[in-house]
């Protein structure tokens, strides 16, 4: 009987030890690199034919990212549904990257930043208004934004088919 109890206690000890060892890899997983985060900052009142500073603030684990490999700003007019323009951003310090951009007309635009930093790629997107826009422009921009979203997504994969979404 004593041998049986000793065997049971020994097995229980192995099981507890095994459980303790399983939690160790979990703690190593929590040490994986934190996600690179990016917040697009756009002036509240953008005027046509005036240069505006468009920015993205990049951080990782609450710390400013000063060493991004690439920061591109992609801008397009959602009302016209035209092709986008890409501009390389300049690092101005404290994790802030920016471009100066002059909008040619009142409209609704989208800005998507393409950021490669610390072996990660993030692409936040923001839609905003320049000048005065009409209800009709807002409706057209909403319709075009849906089709452009799928066009941009497809072009990322290299599949250029099915643009009539």
DSSP assignment of the chain: -HHHHHHHHHHHHHHHHHHHHHHHHHHHHTTSPPPEEEEEE--SS--TTSEEEEEEEEEETTEE----SEEEEEEEETTTTPPPEEEE-EEEETTEEEEEEE--SSEEEEEEEEEEETTEEE--EEEEEES---HHHHHHHHHHHHHHHHHHHHHHHT-------
Predicted local distance difference test score (pLDDT) of residue 81? 86
Please give the structure tokens belonging to residue 100.
């100066």
* Cα–Cα distance for residue pair 130/115, rounded to 1 Å: 24
Residues recorded for the chain: 165
Per-residue pLDDT tens listing for the chain (165 residues): 555 444 545 444 444 444 444 444 444 455 778 999 999 999 999 999 999 999 999 999 999 999 999 999 999 999 998 899 999 999 999 999 999 999 999 999 999 999 999 999 999 999 999 999 999 999 999 888 777 654 444 444 443 333 333
Predicted local distance difference test score (pLDDT) of residue 57? 98
Q: Do the strands 96-102 and 107-117 form a parallel or antiparallel pair, or are they unpaired? A: unpaired
Give the rounded percent of residues in the chain with a pLDDT score beyond 70: 70
User: Smallest Cα–Cα separation from 150: which of 138, 162, 137?
Assistant: 162
Please give the structure tokens belonging to residue 109.
């635009």
* Cα–Cα distance for residue pair 91/57, rounded to 1 Å: 10
Q: Are 97 and 162 within 8 A, CB to CB?
A: no
């Amino acid at each position: 009987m004593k041998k049986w109890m000793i065997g049971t206690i020994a097995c229980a000890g192995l099981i507890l030890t095994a459980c303790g060892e399983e939690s160790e890899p979990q703690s190593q997983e929590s040490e994986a690199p934190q996600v690179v985060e990016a917040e697009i900052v756009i002036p509240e009142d953008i005027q046509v034919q005036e240069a505006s500073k468009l920015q993205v603030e990049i951080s990782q684990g609450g710390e400013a990212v000063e060493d991004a490999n690439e920061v591109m700003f992609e801008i397009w007019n959602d009302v016209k549904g035209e092709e986008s323009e890409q501009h390389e951003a300049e690092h101005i310090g404290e994790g802030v990257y920016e471009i100066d951009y002059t909008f040619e007309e009142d409209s609704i635009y989208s800005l998507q930043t393409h950021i490669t930093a610390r072996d990660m790629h993030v692409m936040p997107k923001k839609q905003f208004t320049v000048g005065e826009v009409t209800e009709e422009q807002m409706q057209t921009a909403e319709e075009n934004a849906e089709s452009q979203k799928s066009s941009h997504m497809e072009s990322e994969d290299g599949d250029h088919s099915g643009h009539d979404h």
